[in-house]
Amino acid sequence: MGARLTLERVSLSFGGVHVLEEVGFDVEAGSVFGLVGPNGAGKTSLFNCISGHYRPSAGSIKIDGEEVLGLVPAKLAKHGLARTFQHPALQLEATVLENVLLGGHTRQPGTALAWAVRLPKTARSERDQRAEALDWLDRVGLRWAADVAADELSHGLHKSIELARALMLHPGILLLDEPAAGLSHGEVQHFIATVKSLRAEGITVVVVEHNMSVISQVTDRVLVLDHGKKLMEGTAASAQADPRVIEAYLGAPDAA
Ligand SMILES: Nc1ncnc2c1ncn2[C@@H]1O[C@H](COP(=O)(O)OP(=O)(O)OP(=O)(O)O)[C@@H](O)[C@H]1O
């Protein structure tokens, strides 16, 4: 089941440069929330704060009401947070399936010795994980590529591999950084259907995306960031109609 994500007055600076200034929003459990805004607005930096890769200089980040600011990514994974990256880090020489199986690593039961001697319980779990990884690959449209080396797939599809890998963690909150960039039209349609199905299962999704058609189709609410500050928050339709958003972002060439 999805978790609620609440940010209050999150600020981040690098050497005196203010990257984020008092950004706050509340994502209801089981909803899809979009973060949009021009290049350099601070969207990825905000993701990095939520996922524990950056430490904000001030503010509060709560998952289901529990303060998680300052926790390292591995601890946040235990709170049910998983993410994908704008530039995925994959084992390129390994197969797509092997990459997805890495996501289940932290959920494997048993001691290292049990794994080394392959006790029946661990062998069964390995089979279960493989079956589950193939199911997630099916969900993201990559079942056909399970045995293909990851580097044979496009950069866009690398993000779909990362999505399947993140889903192996059974996240309550999933952060997706530009998941549709580099996908073909058909792949984008599949991605939209995947996000809708995850939402139907109650997973909370926060998505950074420049493709406003994707944002309109998958999100319940969006927050528009500009120069590290909240410009507005509302539905995708209200953002697209907002003159401030049109001036700061939608009139710019990076908004698709
Ligand atoms: N580690 C860092 N050190 C210094 N500056 C940084 C660091 N990370 C991000 N920034 C700066 O923060 C600002 C926001 O960058 P960020 O990548 O978060 O924007 P974005 O909205 O995700 O942009 P895009 O849509 O292009 O991905 C930029 O000016 C960037 O140079």
Q: Is 42 in the pocket of ligand 1 (CB under 6 A)?
A: yes
Is residue 186 pLDDT above 90, yes or no?
yes
The answer to whether 51 touches 76, Cβ cutoff 8 Å, is yes
State mean pLDDT over 83-98. 93
Q: Is the pLDDT of residue 256 over 70?
A: no
> Is it the case that residue 217 has pLDDT exceeding 90?
yes
Which band of pLDDT confidence, cut at 50, 70 and 90, is reported for residue 113? low
Domain termination residue (choose one: 170, 190, 215): 170
Residue 251 has pLDDT above 80, yes or no: no
- Lowest-confidence segment of 37-41, 125-129, 201-205, 232-236 by average pLDDT: 125-129
Which domain covers residue 148, as residue numbers? 89-170
255 pocket-lining for ligand 1 (C-beta < 6 Å):
no
Q: What is the CATH number of the domain that holds 140?
A: 3.40.50.300
- Ligand 1 neighbourhood includes 45 CB (under 6 angstroms): yes
7 sits in which H/E element: strand 5-14
Q: Is the CB–ligand 1 distance for residue 30 below 6 Å?
A: no
Mutation pick for ligand 1 pocket among 44, 46, 227 (CB with most ligand atoms within 8 Å): 44
Q: Quick check: CB of 54 below 6 Å from ligand 1?
A: no
Q: What is the DSSP letter of 94?
A: S
End-of-domain residue from the set 125, 152, 170: 170
Residues 185 and 141 in one domain: no
Supply the residue whose CA is at minimum distance from atom 1 of ligand 1: 14
Q: Is 43 in the pocket of ligand 1 (CB under 6 A)?
A: yes
Question: pTM, whole model, 2 decimals?
Answer: 0.91
Q: Do 93 and 219 share a domain, yes or no?
A: no
Same domain, 192 and 230: yes
| Model pLDDT, residue 118 | 59
- What is the count of structural domains for the chain? 2
Region label for 216, one of left (φ > 0), alpha (ψ between -120 and 50) or beta (otherwise): alpha
Spacing, Cα 40 to ligand 1 middle (Å): 5
14 lines ligand 1 (CB under 6 A): yes
Strand 173-177 relative to strand 81-83, pairing: parallel
Alpha-carbon distances, residue 251 vs 40, 191, 192, 227 (angstroms): 16, 25, 24, 16
Distance CA 21, CA 256 (A): 26
Looking at the fold, whether 60 and 176 belong to one and the same domain comes out as yes
Give yes or no: residues 93 and 131 share one domain: yes
Contact in structure between 13 and 201 (CB atoms under 8 Å)? no
Three-state DSSP state, 171: coil
37 and 96 share one domain: no
Question: Does residue 87 sit in helix, strand or coil?
Answer: coil
Average pLDDT over residues 77-84: 94
Complex ipTM: 0.96
Q: What is the pLDDT of residue 114?
A: 56
Verify that 64 and 21 share a domain, yes or no.
Answer: yes
Helix/strand/coil for 8? strand
Residue 126 Cα, ligand 1 centroid: separation in angstroms?
39
Of the residues 126, 150, 170, which one is the last residue of a structural domain?
170
* Ligand 1 binding pocket includes 91 (Cβ within 6 Å): no
Please give the sequence-ordered ranges of beta strands (E in DSSP) within 119-235, or none if there are none.
173-177, 204-208, 221-226, 229-234
Atom of ligand 1 nearest to the CA of 14: 4
Whether 63 contacts 80, CB under 8 Å: yes
Class of residue 27 by CB neighbours under 10 A (exposed 0-12, middle 13-18, buried 19+): buried
